[in-house]
Amino acid sequence: MERIFKTEIAGRPLVVETGKIAQFANGSVLIRYGETVVLSTVTAAPEPKEGIDFFPLSVDYEEKLYAVGKIPGGFLKREGRPGEKAILTSRVIDRPIRPLFPKDLRNDVVVSNMVMAVDPDCLPEITAMVGTSIAIAISDIPWKGPIGGVVLGLIDGKTIINPTLEQREQSQMYVTLAGTATKICMVEAGANEVPDDVMLNAIAEGHEVIKEIVKFINSIVDEIGKPKFTYESADVPEEVFAAVKEFGWDKMRAAVLSDDKSVRDANVSALQEEIAAMLEEKEEGLSSWAPDAVYKLEKKVVRDYLFREHVRVDGRALDQIRPLSCDVGVLPRVHGSSFFQRGQTQVMNVCTLAPLAEAQKLEGLDEQTTKRYIHHYNFPGYSVGEAKSSRSPGRREIGHGALAERSLIPVLPSEEEFPYAIRTVSEITMSNGSTSQGSVCASTLSLMDAGVPIKRPVAGISSGLIVNEENDEDFLVFMDIQGIEDFFGDMDFKVAGTTEGITSIQVDIKVEGLSLDIIKAAFEMTHKGRLQIINDVILPCIPAPRAELNKYAPRIISMQIPVDKIREVIGSGGKVINKIIADTGADININDDGKLYISTPDLEAADKAQKIINGIIADPEVGEEFDGVVTRLMDFGAFVEFLPGKEGLVHISKLAWNRVDKVEDVVHEGDKVRVKLIEIDSQGRLNLSIRDTLPKPEGYVEEEPRKREGRPNRERRGGFKPNRFENNNDGGDEGERKGRRREF
C-alpha cells in the first residue's frame, strides 16, 4: 500500500513515498528533497554466498543525466560506467551503513540509488544517503540503523546545514556527516584551513540535525517496517575458537611483535599451519576454520596489547610516528618529483604542469564542468607483496586519490596567479598503512619541487582507535596506524592540513559510531602529528616552492585581451593565430571572455608571441612608424602588413618622394619596408606612407596631383561637376538647377 511521509530538513521539504515503486526489492523508497528525486532500493540474496570470509555489500549511486536536462556525450549517447563523483558518493554512503550490518552475514546485499531529478539547492548525495537509510530500515534485512546524513558549510564562522548552491560557493568547508541517534558514523570533509575546534563544533551542530532525521525514520519504521529475517551465521564456532585461543594465545603474542611486516606475516602464517594441524587432530574437518580462527585470534591479541598494555607491535609509543624520510627532485626531466616514506609505507609522487586548456572536463549532475587540479593514486600488487597484474583503478584508488586532491586544493594558487593545469600522481611502491596520507605529504613535496607557489605545506596523518567491548565510553586513541592496526582496530581517522587548519578529513570506522570525545581526541592527536611532519620533515627538505620552474615545464603567459579583438587575433579561418603558432612554436588558447594563454618551454618564444599579440590588439595611432611586409601590389599602390593581421595601403603617391609611374618600380611582394601611419579614414581603413619614413630630398617641391587619363582631375577642379542635364547658360531654369549634383 502506498504511503507518504513528510518532514523538513534545513527549511526544505523532505517527502518519502513507499509501497508503489520497486515493490520486489526488500526495501524501496522514492525520496524527494526540494525538487531533487532519488529512487533508493535495497535487495538481499535469500542464501549466503559460498566461499567468502566477508560481508558482500555493494552500494551503487547512479547519475542519470536526464536529471539535469542533459544528453550524455560520446557516440552511444547513454550513461556508461560511473563517473568519479558517483563512485565517491557510493563510498560515502557505504561507509556509515556497513558497520551496522552483522559481521557474520554472508548474504549478498545490494543498495542502489538512482538520481532522477536534481535541484541544485538540495544535494542528491545527501538525499540518496537518507533514502538508503530508510530503505534498509524498513526492509527485512538485519541492520542496526537507521542513520541520518547532512552536509555542513561554514560562512562567516556560522555552520550552515545543507547549504544551497549559492552558499556552497561561499563556504569555507564542505563536510558530509552521517550518524545514528547517539554516535557519529562517518565524516568526509574538504576545508579551507578550518581550525580543529571550529570543525568539532560544526560536527556537534550537524549531529543534532541528524538526531531529528533518525527520529523521523524511526517513525516510518514503526508504521511499515518489516520483521528482520534470520540468517546462518558465518562466525567461527565458539568451541573451535576456544581451542585455538588456548593453544595459540601466547604464541600469537610472540608472533606479532615485530616492526617488519614481512617478518610478522611469516610468523603468523607459520602459526596458522600449527593451529590447522591441531584442529585437524582434534576432529577431522575442523582445520577449515583455521584461517578465520587465526584472524580472530590475531585481532584479539593486537587489541589486547594496545588497550590493556599500551604496547604496539612495532614497539612505538601511542603518540609516536614511524620513522620519516623524504626527498625531492628524484626523477630527471619531469616537472617535479618527490619520495616520501613513513615506516614501511613509501610513496613516489610526480607533478606535471600544463596549459589550462588541458584541465579535466567533467560530465555530471553538478555545476562543475572542469577540474584544474588532478591527483591520481596507483596501488600496484607488488606494494603489498602480491603477485597481481595492474588493473584500471578501483573504488579504493579513486577514493584515496580524491582525498589527497581535496587536501591540496585549499593551498593552490589561483588561475590568475598561476595559470596552469596541475596533475600529481602518487605511485605506492610499498604499503603498510596510511598510504593516502603519505600521498598528501608526497604531493606537497612534488608541487613545491615543481615551483608551484602553494600557500603552505600540507601534511596528512591518521589516528586509530580501540574501544572497550564491554564499555564503549572506555577507549584508546593512538597515532599513525600501520596495516595491522588498521585491520584490527576500530577506526582509521585521517586528517590533513597545514599549520593553520584542516584541509580534509576522512573517517572509516568498524564500530557502530564515534562519540564527540573520541573525535576531539583524534583531532588533538592528528594536529600534533601533522605539525611534526611539516616542521621536522617537509620544510627541512624543501623550505619553500622553487623560485623557478623546471626547465622542461611549459612557460605560460596569461593576457587579457578585449573581447572585440578576439576575432583579430584568431583571423579568418584561424589564419592569424596559426601563423603566430608556426612562427613562435608556442601553444595559444583563447577563452570567450578574452583570457588568453601562451604556453611553451621556451620563454623567448613566449615573449615573441606576446609581443605579436600585443601588436594585433593595439590600436595604432596616426604618426606611428612600423616595420612591415608587402603583401599585394595594385595599380594604385601596395598593401603592407605592418602588424600581425593588420594591413594598410601605401598609395602610389606615397611610395617615394619622386614621381612613381609603376608600383613595381619601387616595391615587390615580400619586401620588408618601413611605413608610417598617416590616416585612419571614417571606415577604419589604414593609409600608410613609405616616403614619410625617408628624409625629404633637398629642394623638393610638391608636384601637383596627377591627372588621370580620360577623366577630369577632380582634385584640381573641385566644386560642382555638370551632369548631362546641365547647360552652360548662366543661371538656367529651376529644372536645370535641380539636375545638378555635388561632386567631391
pLDDT digits 0-9 by tens, 260-286: 888 999 999 999 999 999 999 989 889
pLDDT digits 0-9 by tens, 600-655: 888 888 888 988 888 888 888 899 999 999 999 999 999 998 887 688 999 999 99
Domain 3-224 part of CATH 3.20.20.450: no
CA–CA separation, 125 vs 95, rounded Å?
A: 14
CA dihedral 624, 625, 631, 633 (to 10 degrees): 90
All CATH 3.30.230.70 domain ranges of the chain, comma separated, are 3-224, 324-541
Cell, residue 216: 523521523
Per-residue pLDDT, 367: 79
pLDDT digits 0-9 by tens, 303-315: 999 998 998 988 8
Segment 92-112 shows an average pLDDT of 96
pLDDT digits 0-9 by tens, 358-375: 999 888 788 788 899 999
φ/ψ of residue 450, rounded to 5: -80, -10
Segment 320-329 shows an average pLDDT of 96
Q: Which amino acid is at 716?
A: R
Per-residue pLDDT, 709: 52
CA–CA separation, 630 vs 670, rounded Å?
A: 5
Single out the residue of 387, 374, 383, 311 nearest to residue 347, CA to CA. 383
Cell 578574452 -> residue? 594
φ/ψ of residue 108, rounded to 5: -60, 130
Per-residue pLDDT, 743: 39
Segment 464-479 shows an average pLDDT of 87
Segment 231-244 shows an average pLDDT of 93
CATH of domain 324-541: 3.30.230.70
Segment 49-56 shows an average pLDDT of 91
Residues 621, 646 contacting (CB under 8 angstroms)? no
Segment 97-112 shows an average pLDDT of 96
Q: Fold for 238-309, please state it.
A: Arc Repressor Mutant, subunit A (1.10.10)
Is residue 724's pLDDT more than 70?
Answer: no
Segment 493-522 shows an average pLDDT of 95
pLDDT averaged over every residue in the chain:
90
Segment 473-490 shows an average pLDDT of 91
CA–CA separation, 234 vs 257, rounded Å?
A: 29
Segment 250-254 shows an average pLDDT of 93
Q: In the CATH scheme, what architecture does the domain 555-617 have?
A: 2-Layer Sandwich (3.30)
Per-residue pLDDT, 706: 55
Q: Fold for 625-703, please state it.
A: OB fold (Dihydrolipoamide Acetyltransferase, E2P) (2.40.50)
**Residue 741, Cβ density class (10 Å: 0-12 exposed, 13-18 middle, ≥19 buried):** exposed
Per-residue pLDDT, 572: 84
pLDDT digits 0-9 by tens, 534-585: 999 999 999 999 999 998 999 888 889 999 889 889 988 898 899 899 989 8
Per-residue pLDDT, 714: 44
Min mean pLDDT across 100-104, 130-134, 566-570 is at 566-570
To the nearest 10 degrees (0 to 180), the angle between helices 290-309 and 261-282 is 130
Is residue 715's pLDDT more than 60?
Answer: no
Of 592 and 326, the one with more pLDDT: 326
Q: Which residues contact 476 (CB under 8 A, 6 or more apart)?
A: 306, 307, 310, 318, 465, 466
Q: Give the 3-state DSSP-derived string for 6-47, with helices as H, strands as E and coil as C.
A: EEEECCEEEEEEECCCCCCCCEEEEEEECCEEEEEEEEEEEE
Is residue 716's pLDDT more than 60?
Answer: no
Q: Could you tell me the sign of the dihedral formed by the alpha carbons of 439, 444, 448, 453, in that order?
A: positive
**Residue 480, Cβ density class (10 Å: 0-12 exposed, 13-18 middle, ≥19 buried):** buried
All CATH 3.30.1370.10 domain ranges of the chain, comma separated, are 555-617
**697 pLDDT band (50/70/90 cuts)?**
confident
All CATH 1.10.10.400 domain ranges of the chain, comma separated, are 238-309
CA–CA separation, 651 vs 142, rounded Å?
A: 93
Of 717 and 185, the one with more pLDDT: 185
